[in-house]
Amino acid sequence: MTLQSDGGSGGPWGSGGSGGTGGSGGGPRNPWGQPPRRPSGGGGGRGGPDFEDFIRRSQERLRSSFPGGGDRFNWMTIIGIVVLLWVVFTSFYRVDPQQRAVVSRLGKYVETTGPGMHFKLPSPIDTVIKRSVEAISTIDIGSASGESQNLMLTGDQNIIDIAYSVRWKIRDPELFLFEIAEPEQTIREVAESAMRAEIASVSLDNAIGPQRAQIAARVQERMQDALDSYRAGVEIRGVDIKQADPPKEVDDAFKDVSAAQQDAQKYLNDANAYAQQLTARAQGEAASFDKVYGQYRLAPEVTRKRMYFETMEDVLSKVDKTVVETEGVQTYLPLSEVQRSSRKAAQ
């Protein structure tokens, strides 16, 4: 009887235990699957009745122990086994590779342990809090999508709309847990103040364009300094400026500036084209004149005559000609006919 009830009581605790250690094998893991092996199983093969059976029997035993004499040994054994199992199963803990575990003994910080299985004092005495030191959290400040603006004053008293995110992770879990009351909010506020301080030290043009990367780096540095001064145990992995634009109220004016730059470039391009064209033409004409002049110098009289006649021939062959031969005769010019013929030719 005693042995059987012990087996019954071992069952439920055994189940808790094997669950706690992560299971050592497939078969014996579930004690509820074993009842057929028990000779005097009153409850059948299901878990529920078996457990009720166990409770009932324990109560019986409890009752029987009160009127003095009874079977006190059994009662003490059960408590002993329960305590023992409790001690065994709360004395180990596992830390995943990306985690660190902070162990406190009755509230006092003892140590921070790395990955692996570790031993500690049983549960109410030692408590373990695990935190990932690899997982990187992100805090977004301002939105890049444009429905709301995160306006800031720049060093030259202009206003900029800026959106950025801060990536951070826990560096020292014990500091993170014990030194700072609201870590997330603290990081956010420090980020806002650091970003504003940086933006206030640069001009709008620099903040929009060339100095973005430097600003982000300096904000990161500033944040790390501030958080270290709180001993927050937090590491800032990076600050990313997602957007740094002039506010939408003045966006048109900013676009006009780039339009003006385009315009100015266009003026210059046109002028350069004109200049190239003009110079090339001058060079061409000068070169052709030089060539002709070179020939002319060799035989000026003949060349001149030749050029004259060639030109005249060319010109007069294509025009209507009237030669007035007789001297002293008033020439009648049939102007209308001349014009008609020229019109006909034009058609």
Phi-psi region at 55: left, alpha or beta (left = phi > 0; alpha = psi -120 to 50): alpha
Candidates 7-15, 17-25, 86-94, 257-265; binding stretch for other proteins (CB under 8 A): 257-265
Q: Is 295 in the site for other proteins (CB under 8 A)?
A: no
DSSP, collapsed to helix, strand or coil, labels residue 176 as helix
Query: Least separation, in Å, of the C-beta of 30 and other proteins?
Result: 36
Other CB atoms within 10 Å distance of the CB of residue 340: 11
Q: What is the rounded CA–CA span in Å between residue 146 and residue 139?
A: 18
Selected binder of other proteins within 76, 292, 299, 302 (CB under 8 A): 292
Using the minimum distance from each CB to other proteins, give the nearer residue, 24 or 341: 341
Candidates 18-26, 80-88, 211-219, 230-238; binding stretch for other proteins (CB under 8 A): 230-238
**Residue 178 burial by CB count (10 A; 0-12/13-18/19+): exposed, middle or buried?**
middle
Range 146-175, binding other proteins (CB under 8 A): 151-155, 157-159, 174-175
Selected binder of other proteins within 79, 82, 136, 197 (CB under 8 A): 197
Candidates 28-36, 85-93, 162-170, 277-285; binding stretch for other proteins (CB under 8 A): 277-285
Other CB atoms within 10 Å distance of the CB of residue 191: 24
Using the minimum distance from each CB to other proteins, give the nearer residue, 136 or 309: 309
Using the minimum distance from each CB to other proteins, give the nearer residue, 213 or 323: 323
Q: What is the rounded CA–CA span in Å between residue 237 and residue 234?
A: 9
Q: Which of 139, 132, 161 is nearest to 149 (CA)?
A: 161
Range 15-54, binding other proteins (CB under 8 A): none
Q: Is 59 in the site for other proteins (CB under 8 A)?
A: no
Query: Least separation, in Å, of the C-beta of 117 and other proteins?
Result: 23
Q: What is the rounded CA–CA span in Å between residue 205 and residue 245?
A: 10
DSSP, collapsed to helix, strand or coil, labels residue 245 as strand
What six digits make up the tokens of 196?
């504003």
Selected binder of other proteins within 79, 82, 106, 117 (CB under 8 A): 106
Range 303-332, binding other proteins (CB under 8 A): 304, 307-309, 311-312, 314-316, 318-325, 327, 331
124: amino acid identity, one letter: P
Candidates 13-21, 28-36, 51-59, 262-270; binding stretch for other proteins (CB under 8 A): 262-270
Q: Is 299 in the site for other proteins (CB under 8 A)?
A: no
Contact 189, 266 (CB under 8 A): no
